[in-house]
């Protein structure tokens, strides 16, 4: 994997770049649709490619390990062959999923013992095992195994958690270096900065992560309960330390406003379930703000979902019609909303990229942030 930094905004730290992988190029900043179990819910890959214009998707180690299982994925020749997606894939290590099962897992120096949310079976994730699993999945970019503490964790817990993440990273790197890719193309390992909302911990973690000289670096443990302004502060602190010649991935974030603020602070890659999860519940993101299609006010509104036509791929669907589909409990409602929201997110980061290249990102971002953050 390579990263070419093409342009940096003159008034901020916003960047436009190009990530090259064995399965294609990724223009940054980029949003990655979340395909947890190897599929983006309610969306065909044809729509992801042609309509949404996704360049990379994210899948999850924890979920794929439990179902369909690593044996199936290896027999298929990896996730790309199994699901038919021929563009880049990133896999989250499963750390967040394991640690969100607070009542069903136990942390040890060796790793994390957890019980499956599917059948209650007991499993152990170690840093070594997580690398092995991701080798079998075959994603282009794989994540180190980490602990993701709550955004409200106290200092002592955050410090111990960060130190454990660093020790686990050392083991991940060792395992990664002593194993080979299984399907004939390179994989890249990204370490993850932790440290909760504590400035000294974030600096210390960013320095340790930067010292690994990985192909790219991730910022974890944000958007997990801390105040939004703290999240932005931590991004700024970390990005002062992470190398400028490597892509920076902010994990699990977030709203359109969050993404624009993070781009301004030098982040290149994003993922979040919000566009699809919220879409399946009737929340639509538009270039003029956020609407809840279940509300009565849209019953007689026959205008397109996004009247400016900046994000949606089929303007024939009206607010009234899609609202009707939601109230009729038609599955098509969830599909239309998911496609719309993902197209909006991908269009948003593409616009950000163009304005970075053109040199007017800061002015555009100010206007756009005001629009996308308001409720209509």
Neighbours of 364 (CB within 10 A): 16
Q: What percent of the chain has pLDDT over 90?
A: 91
Is 78's pLDDT higher than 80?
yes
Is 67's pLDDT higher than 70?
yes
Mean pLDDT of 295-312: 84
Is 1's pLDDT higher than 60?
yes
Q: What is the pLDDT of residues 250-290, one digit of tens each?
A: 999 999 999 999 999 999 999 999 999 999 999 999 999 99
Is 11's pLDDT higher than 70?
yes
What SS3 state is found at 199? helix
Is 209's pLDDT higher than 90?
yes
Per-residue model confidence (pLDDT) at position 298: 98
- Rounded to the nearest angstrom, the gap between the alpha carbon of residue 121 and the centroid of all alpha carbons in its chain is 28
Joined together, the tokens standing for residue 325 give: 């589909």
Distance CA 19, CA 29 (A): 10
Is 312's pLDDT higher than 70?
no
What number of residues does the chain have? 376
Per-residue model confidence (pLDDT) at position 218: 98
Per-residue model confidence (pLDDT) at position 94: 85
Point out the residues that are catalytic.
Answer: 92, 271
Mean pLDDT of 300-313: 77
Per-residue model confidence (pLDDT) at position 104: 72
Indicate the pairing of strand 269-271 with strand 30-32: parallel
Per-residue model confidence (pLDDT) at position 308: 78
Is 311's pLDDT higher than 60?
no
Per-residue model confidence (pLDDT) at position 309: 62
Which of the residue ranges 153-157, 175-179, 305-309 would you say has the lowest mean pLDDT? 305-309
Containing H/E element for 33?
Answer: none
Per-residue model confidence (pLDDT) at position 245: 98
Q: What is the pLDDT of residues 23-36, one digit of tens each?
A: 999 999 999 999 99
Is 313's pLDDT higher than 80?
no
Mean pLDDT of 110-123: 92
Indicate the pairing of strand 122-125 with strand 112-115: antiparallel
Per-residue model confidence (pLDDT) at position 238: 98
Buried b (16+ CB within 10 A) or exposed e, 140-177: bbbbbbbbbbbbebeeeebbebbbbbbebbebbbebbe
Tell me how far CA of residue 289 lies from CA of 86, 370, 372, in angstroms.
Answer: 33, 8, 4
């Amino acid at each position: 994997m390579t990263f070419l930094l093409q342009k940096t905004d003159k008034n901020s730290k916003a960047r436009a770049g190009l990530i090259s992988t064995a399965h294609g190029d990724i223009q940054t900043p980029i949003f990655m649709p979340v395909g947890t179990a190897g599929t983006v819910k309610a969306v065909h890959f044809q729509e992801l490619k042609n309509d949404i214009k996704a360049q990379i998707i994210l899948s999850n180690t924890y979920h794929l390990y439990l179902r369909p299982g690593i044996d199936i994925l290896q027999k298929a020749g990896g996730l790309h062959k199994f699901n038919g997606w021929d563009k880049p894939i990133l896999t989250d290590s499963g750390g967040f999923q394991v640690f969100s099962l607070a009542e069903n897992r136990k942390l040890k120096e060796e790793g994390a013992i957890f019980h499956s949310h599917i059948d209650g079976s007991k499993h152990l994730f170690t840093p070594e095992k997580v690398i092995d699993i991701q080798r079998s999945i075959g994603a282009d970019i794989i994540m180190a195994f980490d602990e993701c503490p709550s955004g409200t964790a106290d200092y002592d817990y955050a410090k111990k958690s960060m130190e454990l993440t660093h020790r686990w990273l050392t083991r991940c790197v060792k395992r990664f270096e002593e194993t080979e890719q299984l399907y004939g193309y390179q994989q890249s390992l990204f370490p993850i900065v932790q440290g909760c909302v504590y400035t000294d911990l974030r600096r210390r973690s960013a320095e340790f992560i930067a010292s690994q000289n990985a192909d790219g670096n991730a910022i974890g443990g944000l958007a997990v309960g801390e105040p939004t302004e703290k999240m932005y502060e931590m991004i700024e602190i970390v990005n002062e330390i992470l190398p400028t010649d490597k892509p920076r991935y902010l994990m699990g974030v977030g709203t359109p406003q969050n993404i624009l603020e993070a781009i301004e602070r030098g982040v290149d890659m994003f993922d979040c379930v919000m566009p699809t999860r919220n879409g399946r519940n009737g929340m639509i993101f538009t270039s003029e703000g956020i609407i809840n299609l279940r509300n009565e006010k849209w019953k007689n509104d026959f205008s397109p979902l996004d009247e400016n036509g900046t994000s949606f791929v089929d303007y024939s669907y009206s607010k009234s019609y899609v609202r009707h589909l939601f109230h009729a409990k038609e599955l098509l409602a969830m599909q239309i909303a998911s496609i719309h929201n993902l197209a909006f997110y991908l269009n948003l980061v593409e616009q950000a990229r163009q304005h970075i290249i053109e040199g007017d990102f800061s002015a555009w971002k100010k206007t756009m942030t005001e629009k996308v953050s308001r409720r209509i």
